[in-house]
Structure 1
Amino acid sequence: MKKILFLLLLPALLTSCEDVLQENPKSLAVETFYNTKAEVESAVNAIYVPLRSSSTNGMGVYIAVLEAHIDYAYGRGSYAVLNNFQGLDNVNISRVAGAWEAYYLSIRNANLVIKNAPNGKSISKADVTSYVAEAKFLRAFSYFHLVRNWGGVPIRTEANMTEIDAKRNTVEEVYGLILSDLKEAEANLPDQVSQPGRPTKWAAKAVLADVYLQQEKFAEARDKADEIIKSGRFSLIPVATSEDFQKVFGPDIITSPEEVFYLKFSRQPGQGNLFPTLINHPGTRLLGGGGGVFGLHSDSTNPVYQQWDNADLRKGIWYSWNIGIGATSLLSRKFIDPNSLEFAGAGNDVTWYRYADVLLIYAEAAARAGNAPTAAAMEALNQVHRRAYGKPAATASAVDFKLADYPTTNSFLNLLVKERGYEFQYEGKRWLELKRTGKAREIILAAKGKTIDNKHFLWPIPVSELNYNKAIDPVKDQNPGY
């Protein structure tokens, strides 16, 4: 009955509207559908459907593609080519096209709410404002993933959603929309929600901080993250053993003090998370519903693993398991669900923003804004580091990093990037971070001995978009190398 308030709501609300919203939007009578709170809420719920897809081209596969790009893990089978960093082959081009389509479907469903909800006749203005803010938050969230992986993309809003052809907008224009949407969401989302999984104004602040960091607006990123920290609403979940991280990532967690914005999943039929299927082996029995296909793994010879302090409890999440390629292969217990009932049926949430993200965004932004690490920046980093060693996060400890040992912005950034590499494994964040910080070539060469080809940094615009959208030239507007 995990996440019953939100997830069990979806089948009931979406059974009547999902086919309409996803397959035949022209049949939706907007003058009669968006009139009540229940109708608008069901339309808002439809925005989440593509983001939570458990299909083979859904979000689980999207995260798996991102996680096969990085320093600490390897793709296996059809994901193995990603370890070469020479661009995507046809199989993985198809996979990322699925993510593109999912994000744009979510955007389209958000646009429907933004356009039609204000015209409702039997819904309060306050409810309209809140639901439109939620739709804009999710639209911004989708565009943020699109722009980081594809660069400039077509902007489709409620103003042009009926137009088939939309030009490829610039990166700057996409970020302009993202910031506008997030600022409105920050102003109009609730302080707290009764249904776990819906965004609050604090979630909007977290994504704003991340967007500002991406744009190198470091003072703005620092201040926005600091607002969340000073609110006192969030905290790191204490751990004493590696197994205790299931209190953070386990399938039975409804919500926690660490959660800022997660995509919610459940063992309910059709509501499960696919990604754990791609990192678990059937023989371990750590995943029910048919086991896993172990598309991702690590290895005890990997430099990241070898250089990792054995006392760090996060390292203990990895364990030795021979998956058929040698005795040194490693698998992760981070996302497991022994009681899942079906393939792609794990109950683990996708932890896009948790309090550890906020602390480490603050640490980097504060150091960069001031052109040197500060005591507050180091304290934010140390809180995450202490928790990793089983220490109280808010209390000084013998494992603390010392500010005097990292006197420059670059030395502190190198430490922070290393710490992020330990903290966010298998959360879909590492490759985006390596690109953002300009550390990708250096770190991948050191860990895997590979030189990244320029075309590997951006994914190709899907053929489905090029065939459909005549405002994009399939040669001139395609990303380099494809």
Structure 2
Amino acid sequence: MKKPFILSVLRPFVSKLVLMALPLIFLSSCEEVLKEETKSLAVETFYNTTAEVEAATNAIYTPLRSNNTSGMGVYIAVLEAHIDYAYGRGSYTVLNNFQGLDNVNVSRTAGAWEGFYLSIRNANLVIKNAPNGKAISPANIAKFVAEAKFLRAFNYFHLVRNWGAVPIRTEANMTDVDAKRNSPEEVYNLILADLKDAEANLPDQVTQSGRPSKLVAKTVLADVYLQLGRFAEARDKADEVIKAKKYALVPVSSTEDFQKIFGPAVITTSEEIFYLKYSHQTGQGNLWPWLTNHPGTKLHGGGGVYGHHSDTTNPVYANWDNKDLRKGQWYSWNIGIGATSLLNKKFIDPDAIGGPGAANDAPFYRYADLLLIYAEAASQAGNGPTAEALEALNQVHRRAYGLAPTAVSAIDFKLADYNAATFLDLVIKERGYEFQYEGKRWLELKRTGKARAIILATKGKTIAEMAFLWPIAVSELGYNKAIDPVKDQNPGY
């Protein structure tokens, strides 16, 4: 049974963490809980030893790993109803129209907003207070502060891509109730500064999977540079990680072998760069697999609500080469809307403990991500694909067909067949196969400017402008007087 690293150090400090975290929850909308004097005792007594600072750092992950509406399961579920290869069902059905969020999904995205900001709040506490610890070495202080800054950047990267301009709260202003929306440029400046600090001060290697290292920070930096269109920097940063030879694609020879990457029993693999970790222990499970499975399949111990599905008539599925082993993760199952419906077995856990109890990790960055970041960035920076860019993409493609990732093969794409524009389309297509149900597709379609064309071609839907950004959470508007609930809200809400 997998055991998330948080449990090993958190239990001795649970009571302190609860007392410290309760005043920090944004849902309270109470200014009094933000006053410094309410936290002073906990701060003075908690951040003194390595174990205490580590436990406080672990608390940064807690809102992200939550299996309620503030956690990644529901967040990914909303993202994965905005894609080309699959559909939302039930309360996620409305998202297939790409006309913005209804009240149910507004509430879901508000939960994600609150989770990200609670995680940021916990990161700010470490960044501010760890340097004052009396029984912790300077080296450990630097390490944990770097980890907190990495996670703060991770949170803001998700916030800015989904909400645009958002309030910046750091250790310098975390007790201020009112905070205006900062421009995306300002948010990205903070993200880059935090990731560069993390790159400099995180350890070269970590002893527990799920924690960031220097190479993890470099990988996320490459992704942020790609998002910003700074292609040469994205290429070079990704290349640093590739040349470190720390990571490798996990070989497969059948569709079932993908469980060596995504299965609930997996502790870590050569492909893992940065994952959120889950286990079968109560309160430590992943909710997302429950949303994709059906109770009749017995592929999830909690049954499943099959809130996400596809169909054999979907153009992505219909035009997909049957020899690609990734396609085999989709299987026919009648969910009550016709015999052509499909479900996906990428994230399955027959031993899951209830709905939110799957042990499958959430793979936010794996080596396949890095290779395709490099491939796109190198081609865009050089106004056309290089041999190295093509090889990076071919490695992902070969593995998908059960071939050795690093050996030249008959299915390889050829350099002479592509220019900058057609190679970008090829990378987007490969990503569309590789990262299904990982919460990445909608963000990619928006970033590349391909969302409208691809959704129109695959689903016949025209995306409304309001669908590109989610509404600022009501819980934020309820107490933050620096944001006007009408003038400062995102368009359409």
For the superposition of Structure 1 and Structure 2, which TM-score range results when normalised by the shorter chain? over 0.9
2:453 maps to 442
What are the within-5 Å matches in structure 2 for residues 398-413 of structure 1?
398-406=410-418, 408-413=419-424
Q: 1:399-444 CA distances to partner (integer Å, 9 max, x unpaired)?
A: 11111111x1110001110000000000000000000000000000
| Letter of the 2:437 counterpart | Y
Cα RMSD (Å) of the superposition?
A: 1.0
Kindly indicate whether residue 366 of structure 2 is the aligned counterpart of residue 367 of structure 1: no
The sequence identity of aligned pairs, in percent, is: 73
**TM-score (normalised: structure 1):** 0.98
Kindly indicate whether residue 142 of structure 2 is the aligned counterpart of residue 143 of structure 1: no
Kindly indicate whether residue 126 of structure 2 is the aligned counterpart of residue 113 of structure 1: yes
1:356 to 336, 360, 368: 368
CA contact (8 A) 1:7 1:266 kept: no
Q: 1:253-300 CA distances to partner (integer Å, 9 max, x unpaired)?
A: 111110000000001100000000000001100000x31111100001
Q: 1:436-475 CA distances to partner (integer Å, 9 max, x unpaired)?
A: 0000000000110000001100000011111110000111
Q: 1:316-346 CA distances to partner (integer Å, 9 max, x unpaired)?
A: 0110001111111100110000011222100
- How many pairs were matched up? 479
Kindly indicate whether residue 404 of structure 2 is the aligned counterpart of residue 389 of structure 1: no
Q: Aligned equivalents of 1:85 and 1:356: distance in 2?
A: 28
Kindly indicate whether residue 367 of structure 2 is the aligned counterpart of residue 342 of structure 1: no
1:2 maps to 2
SS in 2 for 1:468: coil
1:134 maps to 147
| Letter of the 2:445 counterpart | L
CA contact (8 A) 2:169 2:179 kept: yes
Q: Aligned equivalents of 1:18 and 1:78: distance in 2?
A: 35
| Letter of the 2:2 counterpart | K
Greater mean deviation of Cα atoms: 381-390 or 190-199: 190-199
2:138 maps to 125
Q: 1:176-195 CA distances to partner (integer Å, 9 max, x unpaired)?
A: 00000000000000111111
Kindly indicate whether residue 42 of structure 2 is the aligned counterpart of residue 43 of structure 1: no
**TM-score (normalised: structure 2):** 0.96
What are the within-5 Å matches in structure 2 for residues 28-427 of structure 1?
28-288=41-301, 290-406=302-418, 408-427=419-438
Q: 1:52-86 CA distances to partner (integer Å, 9 max, x unpaired)?
A: 00014421000000000000000000000000000
Q: Aligned equivalents of 2:477 and 2:47: distance in 1?
A: 33
| Letter of the 1:2 counterpart | K
Greater mean deviation of Cα atoms: 234-243 or 472-481: 472-481
Unaligned runs of 5+ in 2: 25-37
Unaligned runs of 5+ in 1: none
Q: 1:131-190 CA distances to partner (integer Å, 9 max, x unpaired)?
A: 000000000000000000000100000000000000100000000000000000000001
Kindly indicate whether residue 429 of structure 2 is the aligned counterpart of residue 430 of structure 1: no
Q: Aligned equivalents of 1:12 and 1:283: distance in 2?
A: 37
CA contact (8 A) 2:202 2:213 kept: yes
Q: 1:212-241 CA distances to partner (integer Å, 9 max, x unpaired)?
A: 000000000000000010000000000000
| Letter of the 1:59 counterpart | M
Q: Aligned equivalents of 2:349 and 2:66: distance in 1?
A: 18
TM-superposed CA distance for 1:7, in Å, is 4.2
CA contact (8 A) 1:77 1:295 kept: yes
1:456 maps to 467
2:11 maps to 12
CA contact (8 A) 1:84 1:450 kept: yes
Q: Aligned equivalents of 1:17 and 1:299: distance in 2?
A: 49
Q: 1:349-376 CA distances to partner (integer Å, 9 max, x unpaired)?
A: 0000000000000000000000111111
